[in-house]
Amino acid sequence: MAKFYVLIGPPGAGKGTQAKIIAEKYNLVHISSGDLFRENLKNQTELGKLAQGFMTRGELVPDDVTIGMVRERISRPDCKNGALLDGFPRTPAQADALAVMLKEFGSKVELVPLIDVPAKDLIERLSGRWTCKEGHVFHEKFNPPQKAGICDIDGSELYQREDDKKATVENRIKVYTEQTAPLIEYYGNRKLLVKIDGTKPIDAVTKELLSAIEKV
């Protein structure tokens, strides 16, 4: 049966960083809703144009739009063995929709690791974040690329995200607390949540995550 995992945590917790490592290890597709929106934005699709304002303000894109986009992605053949979801769901309504769509595909969420990092660390994480167009993530202090401005993995250029500016980050953290943090109780009640200490170095966080996944 296909296995689906959901990574949750505040912006800057390390979801994208860990998702890339874990997805490769288990040969799972990595689905980042933020990356899907950025791809649409770059290609100036209708979806991208619709999402742009919300993203720039650090708000959530409306549920119906987001759910439709992820549903389309999950229904592609490369997800037949499952996927690692990063940044989706972000509201209880999205979580309900995910449960329904996975049921249709004869599957379910296996585990929801929460990468826990206190708000005080997030601004430093995000203001030093550098990303490539494939979504490989670096940090100028905590995980610097070998050559400044160049992705170690595919040699492409690194850039800083528009929405990683301090004012936008503050709003994204507020939005997380108000709209996404309720998922902690949501998945806790369903016995799917496992808390991971995201303040440790990247490889220590990976170890904790792998051990949680191996247990299910």
Regarding 125 and contact with ligand ADP (CB under 6 A), the answer is: yes
Residue 90 contacts which entry, ligand ADP, ligand AMP, none (Cβ below 5-8 A, type-dependent): ligand AMP
DSSP state of 34: H
Summarize as ranges the residues that interact with ligand AMP (CB under 6 A).
Answer: 11, 33-34, 37, 54-55, 58-61, 66, 87-90, 94, 163, 172
Residue 54: which of ligand ADP, ligand AMP, none does it interact with, CB under 5 to 8 A by kind? ligand AMP
Give the nearest residue (CB) to ligand AMP. 34
Q: Which of residues 128-157 bind ligand ADP (CB under 6 A)?
A: 128-129, 137-139, 142-143
Nearest Cα neighbor of 4 from 106, 93, 96, 94 is 106
Does residue 4 sit in helix, strand or coil?
strand
5, 114, 117, 123, 155 from 88: Cα distances, Å: 10, 12, 18, 21, 28
Assess whether 73 carries a catalytic annotation.
Answer: no
Please say if 76 is a catalytic residue. no
Cβ-contact 213, 22 below 8 angstroms: yes
71 an active-site residue?
no
Which option in ligand ADP, ligand AMP, none does residue 17 bind, with CB closer than 5 to 8 A by kind?
A: ligand ADP
Site for ligand ADP in 12-51 (CB under 6 A): 12-17
Q: ∠ at Cα 132 (28, 22), nearest 5°?
A: 25
Min dist CB 34 to ligand ADP, Å, is 7
How far is Cα 40 from Cα 49, in angstroms, rounded to an integer? Answer: 8
Distance of alpha carbon 133 from its chain centroid, rounded?
15
Among this protein's residues, is 57 annotated catalytic?
Answer: no
Q: 15 an active-site residue?
A: yes
Nearer to ligand ADP, 17 or 107 (CB): 17
Q: Could you tell me if 40 and 51 are in contact, meaning their C-beta atoms sit under 8 angstroms apart?
A: yes
Contacts 24+ apart (CB under 8 A), 34-37: 34/86, 34/87, 35/135, 36/69, 36/70, 36/73, 37/61, 37/69
Q: How far is the CB of 30 from ligand AMP (least distance, A)?
A: 12
Residues involved in catalysis: 15, 90, 129, 161, 172
Residues that bind ligand ADP (CB under 6 A): 9, 11-17, 125, 128-129, 137-139, 142-143, 198, 200-202, 205
